[in-house]
Amino acid sequence: MAQETKNGAERRLIRIFDTTLRDGEQSPGNSMNMEEKLRVARQLEKLNVDIIEAGFPIASVGDFEAVKRIAQTLTKPQIAGLCRSSDKDIDRAWEAVQYAGERARIHTFIATSDIHMKYKLQMEPAKVLATAVKAVKYAKGYTSNVEFSCEDAVRTRLPFLAEVVEATIDAGATTVNIPDTVGYTTPSEFYNIIRYLKENVSNIEKAVISVHCHNDLGLSVANSLAAIQAGAGQVECTINGIGERAGNCSLEELVMVLRTRHDILPYYTNVATEQLTSSSRLLSTITGIMVQPNKAIVGANAFAHESGIHQHGMMMDSSTYEIMTPESVGLAAGALVLGKHSGRHAFKKRLQELGHELDDEMLNRAFVRFKALADLKKEVFDEDLDAIVADESREEEMYKLVLLNVSCGSLSVATATVKMEINGQLLRAAELGDGPVDATLKAIRKLTKSKAKLEQFNVGSITGGTDAQGEVTMRVSDGNHLVVGKGSSTDIIEASAKAFVHALNRLHYRQKKMNGGV
């Protein structure tokens, strides 16, 4: 599909395949429950991505149910389920994605590099080729929309890679994915790989070439762009670039490169770029993993100008130092200002603009929190709203923080008194500590009888000013699971307590799921 530019040149459509809910969720600390996945999926639909890889259905009952629910709920994007090249995997994937009807996609894969075939699969190349073809033909029995991936393609011998691609297209694959599974390639090398396939696979025009680049060397976006220039028509990427190890190609970066440099890159996407910031913030709110301030496109400093020379240029004309407008990525100028006089309708509208769809009960709780915060602050910022939603959008709570009182000072030992509701029972404990946070966490551990280990502790300010909310993010493990806990408050000690309790609830939820609970 092509689109004409003003000078009559054609611009080629690049399909955006979002794998935030599959590859992105596989990275430590990014796991999401059913409702969180559905919230992200709805936001991806607003973002107008072409395909959502909703999960790996055979991986777990939870993953299957999430893919199924997303396929049942969304109405616009294609919904893909990942599966290995086995009948059992493909059956399970179709069982989940079938509810998307004509928009359902089966995405099957097998490794093709010598190192993977020898050490992981322990299969000869001929067997791998036969397995790939068989899997595609089997998947075609369910749907005509079949994608096949050559895992570790960039370390695969090119003649064999071409042989597998040609055979799977003959078998019925309509998309062939060439992944840089370990983030090993460079732009020029990847360009040559895609060109080799274009020139040596006789039926290559019958399928869309897709690429899936990891960021181990920091080249995932550059490699994806090189592949597009060589002929790729689909890019697999994630919001905020999350994913295995160093992550995946960042969706927001790739899309904005194509939009901003359309003068030399004759390509376009269907993405509604004004939803990029909302999508990024929603994901950070759910996972508790924030993007670094200097992150391109969606970082807090992406449109900040501190240098006097830059500020002077900006006052004269914003194009002096901005190559794209804040509005183009969803940072709307003159956005609605919320404060203590704002009503429920304005509050709900702004939450929806930020990508938060809350039911009535959750909205009411969030509105009460908003009003309480508005009494403490002159203005409530979008980041404050994200934090409020993060506190209210949580799993079933076994542990609830009811009261916290801390006494500390340079001449006294920190003491924390904590009151909690645990399984409907009110309990209280007091503990001494090396500081107010240490004392607080000790008291919570005592009440919950938890032996969970605090792996990481980060404190930040959500917005500027002395009245800003403090935000605490913790990584907590119990040996079987690693979760992220998040809490916010104008009192940093209370934020720490909330984050720890949130983490303990998430550990309890994971343990319950593992034991067959809801």
> What CATH number has the domain bearing residue 62?
3.20.20.70
492 found inside a domain: yes
User: Residues 20, 80: one domain?
Assistant: yes
Greater confidence (82 vs 302) lies with: 82
User: Residues 82, 160: one domain?
Assistant: yes
Give the mean model confidence (pLDDT) for residues 258-285. Answer: 95
Q: Which residue type sits at 246?
A: A
Domain ends where: 354, 372, 393? 393
Exposed, middle or buried, 126 (CB in 10 Å: 0-12/13-18/19+)?
exposed
> Does 318 have pLDDT greater than 90?
no
User: What is the pLDDT, as a whole number, of residue 395?
Assistant: 56
Give the mean model confidence (pLDDT) for residues 464-473. Answer: 76
SS (H, E, C) 185-200: CCHHHHHHHHHHHHHH
User: Residues 65, 156: one domain?
Assistant: yes
Q: What is the pTM of this model?
A: 0.80
Residues annotated as binding site for Mn(2+)? 23, 212, 214, 248
Q: Are 218 and 229 in contact (CB under 8 A)?
A: no
351 found inside a domain: yes
User: Residues 183, 268: one domain?
Assistant: yes
User: Residues 411, 480: one domain?
Assistant: yes
370 found inside a domain: yes
433 found inside a domain: yes
Q: What is the CATH number of the domain that holds 430?
A: 3.30.160.270
User: Residues 449, 500: one domain?
Assistant: yes
Tell me the residue range of the domain where 362 lies: 340-393
pLDDT level of residue 310 (50, 70, 90 thresholds): very low
1 found inside a domain: no
User: What is the pLDDT, as a whole number, of residue 394?
Assistant: 58
CA distance 172 to 166: 10
Task: Give the chain's length.
Answer: 518
> Does 9 have pLDDT greater than 90?
no
User: Residues 225, 105: one domain?
Assistant: yes
pLDDT level of residue 514 (50, 70, 90 thresholds): low
122-180, pLDDT tens digit by residue?
A: 999 999 999 999 999 999 999 999 999 999 999 999 999 999 999 999 999 999 999 99
Q: Are 310 and 52 in contact (CB under 8 A)?
A: no
298 found inside a domain: no
Q: How does the average pLDDT of the chain come out, rounded?
A: 89
User: Residues 491, 375: one domain?
Assistant: no
* Number of structural domains found in the chain: 4
pLDDT level of residue 353 (50, 70, 90 thresholds): confident
Task: Report how far apart, in Å, the C-alpha atoms of 247 and of each of 26, 111, 181 are.
Answer: 10, 20, 11
User: What is the pLDDT, as a whole number, of residue 109?
Assistant: 98
CA distance 113 to 110: 10
5 found inside a domain: no
Residue 165, classed as helix, strand or coil, is helix
User: Residues 311, 407: one domain?
Assistant: no
User: What is the pLDDT, as a whole number, of residue 27?
Assistant: 76
pLDDT level of residue 461 (50, 70, 90 thresholds): confident
User: Residues 202, 323: one domain?
Assistant: no
User: What is the pLDDT, as a whole number, of residue 309?
Assistant: 43
CA distance 23 to 33: 15
User: Residues 240, 277: one domain?
Assistant: yes
296 found inside a domain: no
Residues annotated as binding site? 23, 212, 214, 248
User: Residues 228, 349: one domain?
Assistant: no
Domain ends where: 350, 372, 393? 393
